[in-house]
Every structure is written in structure tokens, then in C-alpha cells.
Amino acid sequence: MSESTPDIPPSAPSTPSPPPQPPPVSPHPYPPPHDYQQPPARPIGCKRFAIFGLVTLFVLGVIGVCTLVGTIFLFAVGTDVFDVLSSEMQEKAVTEKLIGGNPSAEDKIVIMSIEGIITSNADGFVVKQIRRVVSDPKVKAVVLRVDSPGGTMAGSDYYLHLLKKMKTEKRIPVVVSMGSIATSGGYYVSMIGNEIYAEPSTITGSIGVIASLFDASELLKKVGIESTPITSGVRKTMGSFMKPMSEEERAIWQNLIDENFDRFKKIIREGRREFRDNPADLDKLATGQIYTANEAVSNKLIDKIGFLDDAVAQAGRLANLAEREYKVVQYRAKLSFVETLLENRTPNNLLSGKTLSEMSTPKVYLVCPHVIPIDGGK
């Protein structure tokens, strides 16, 4: 018996598979978020680290320099460090401007000035001008230009002292040229002149001394203020505006005024030979009155009426210099670094803090009350 094979059904006809379809196209050109991969971080190399270090050092250096400059500037403003100069540097703080004469000449006639309110300034522009004259061997004569209503007795006396010392050491003539006003302390310092010139419109005179004192005690009572000072003596508050002045205090102040007034007239007699032998003539003029230039000439308070160039020409003649033998220079103030930036101090700053402080403190003044608002008394 033969072995039978199973029946194999005939294979069904195969159907072809559909072709593969492309993936759907996204309407956006960017890949889907899940396909984005963060690029690997780049390691910081030595080169990049060096550049970073250099930039950091540069920034720190700039900050340090700015801090240092700012500190120096603030220190200079607070202490005037730029004004702490040696003697030689102080002479350079005064500059010269050629205004006439022979520019190629060696010898000089210097125009120096005293202007504005006179205060006690031992290192101010007037003192620097005097130092410059003393240190310059080419200066053969000085024209002192005075345009001042006066100021403190101490300041006027100090400037006259320095001018006398300069004149003696240099053995040079000094001619005074008065500007628009030369009264009281301005007339006081003019006594240095070998001759005194005044312009036709000059106001001068006001020979006298004043102490400006105020009594605000009644006003203080009205506003409910009472002064209770603790003093070491009964006269320590003498001159205070917080209380009325007693007769005893008035006598003390009057004695102080009289003594300084005597000195004022003594200085005039020394400077004006016309009054040396005739002090009574000066007493008639020394009433505090102001005078015009014509009146001053008539009363022998000045020598001549003339302008600045007339005074310069006379200085040249007194120094025995021909016109072509000298040049004329005028001193100017050279501002310090701080002064240039702030411009809060000038040689003639009438409203500077120092000037206001000087004028508001009880002192003896050689000042014209017609120009400066100071009470002339009763």
C-alpha cells in the first residue's frame, strides 16, 4: 500500500502591496520641536579666558583711575591743595600782559592793581603781585592802579606795609593811578605813591574810620528770642547785635576808632608832604567827606588829574628811562585748576564768602559808607 501525500491547496494569486507614501509635509519650514537638539556647549579655551581677563583688568583700571581723580578733586576743593605753592610757583601765579612801550626792551614798568574790597588776605593777588615785582630785577618802576572803596583797617595797613617794603628793597618809584573810586582804605594804600594821579571822574577822600555795629535786640524780643551767653567777662559780648550797647561799651569802641583815625592821618602826613607841616589842613579834610578829582587837587590830596598812560609816562620819567627803553606790562591773575573749574574766586570778587565774612564781622573799617551799605551812625 502506498503512502498518500496530503492535498496542497492551490496558492491564491498574490495581490501587489501599495507603494510607500512620503511623510506628510509640514506647512512650517522649521522642524518640529521634538526634533530640535541643543548644540553641545563649547569649552572655554585658554585664548578666550585670557581675553576675558584682560577686559576685566581694563574695566577695573578705569574705575580705579576715576575714583582716584575724583578723590583728588574733592580734596582740592576742600583744602585748596592747588594753592599750596612754593614761593617760586606763587610768582608764576601772576602772568604778564604787554600793553605798551617797546616790546623788545629789557626794562619794565609794571602796572599792578588793588581793586574791590580790601580784606586781610596774606596770600591773595595783591601779595602775589608784590612778590613778583620783588623777584624781577627788570622792573624799574611800578604804577599802582587803585580802584577800591576801601575795606578793613588791618587789610589796608598790611598792603601798605608790603608796598613800602617792596619800594625800599627795589629802590624804584611808585606812581598811583586812581580809577573810578579810591576812597578810605583805597586812599590809605595810595600813600605809597611818589605821585598820585586821578582820572577826571574819580571819587576819592572819605578819610575816616568806621565800626559797623547793629542792635537787633528789639526785633529778637518780638519774635521771642532771648540771648543768654555764658562769658568769662562782662565785656566779652561787647558789640553783639543781640543786646543794646551800653555807654561804657560805646566809649571803648570810640577810643578804638579814635586811635585808628589818628593812625590814618599819620599815614597821610607821611605820604603827603603838603600835610607834614600843616596837620590842621588835613584835619579840615578828614571828616569822611568824599571829593571829586578837581577838589582833591585843590585840597592837595592828589597831585594831578590824568589817566593810566599819564601815570605810566611819569613813572618812566621818575625812573630816568627814555620812552624806547622800557616796556609796559600789566599783571594778571592766573587762576588755579580749581578756580578755573568753579570760578568762585577772583581777585576782585566782591561777593565771595571770605569778603562777606570779613564785612559782617565787627571790625574797624576804612571804607566809604556811600558805596558800601554800612550804617554811618547817628
Active site residues: 184, 236
- Amino acid in the structure at residue 8: I
> Which residues sit opposite 181 in a β-bridge?
203
Distance CA 356, CA 348 (A): 13
Distance CA 243, CA 255 (A): 20
Distance CA 271, CA 258 (A): 20
Q: Give the H or E element holding residue 129.
A: helix 125-135
Distance CA 149, CA 307 (A): 19
Q: How many CA atoms lie within 13 A of 89 on its CB side?
A: 7
Distance CA 257, CA 45 (A): 87
Q: Where are the beta strands (DSSP E) in the chain?
A: 94-101, 107-115, 139-148, 150-152, 174-183, 195-198, 203-205, 290-292, 304-305, 326-333, 365-367
Q: Which three cell numbers stand for residue 149?
A: 572803596
